Amino acid sequence: MTASSNRTSSWGPRIVRPAWSRAAITFSIAAIAILSLSCTQLEKPEPQPFFAETSPPKIQEFRWSNGKLPKSFDPALASAPPETDVVRALYEGLTETDPATLQEVAGVAESWSSTDDFKTWTFKLRKSAKWSNGKQVTANEFVRAWKRLVQLGDRTAHRNLLSNIV
| Residue 100 belongs to a domain | yes
CATH number of the domain enclosing 99:
3.90.76.10
Length of the chain: 166
Q: Into how many domains does the chain fold?
A: 1
| Residue 56 belongs to a domain | no
| Residue 149 belongs to a domain | yes
| Residue 57 belongs to a domain | no
| Residue 40 belongs to a domain | no
Compute how many other C-beta atoms are within 10 angstroms of the C-beta atom of residue 141. 14
What is the dihedral sign for C-alpha 69, 72, 76, 79? negative
Amino acid at site 51: F
Q: In this model, does residue 153 exceed pLDDT 80? A: yes
pLDDT of residue 100: 93
pLDDT digits (tens, 9 = 90+) for 52-102: 778 888 998 888 877 888 888 898 888 888 888 888 888 899 999 999 999
Residue 137: domain span: 83-162
40 band by pLDDT with thresholds 50, 70 and 90: low
| Residue 152 belongs to a domain | yes
pLDDT digits (tens, 9 = 90+) for 95-148: 999 999 999 999 999 999 999 998 899 999 999 999 989 999 999 999 999 889
| Residue 143 belongs to a domain | yes
SS in 3 state form for 77-119?
Answer: CCCCCCHHHHHHHHCCCCEEECCCCCCEEECCEEEEEECCCCC
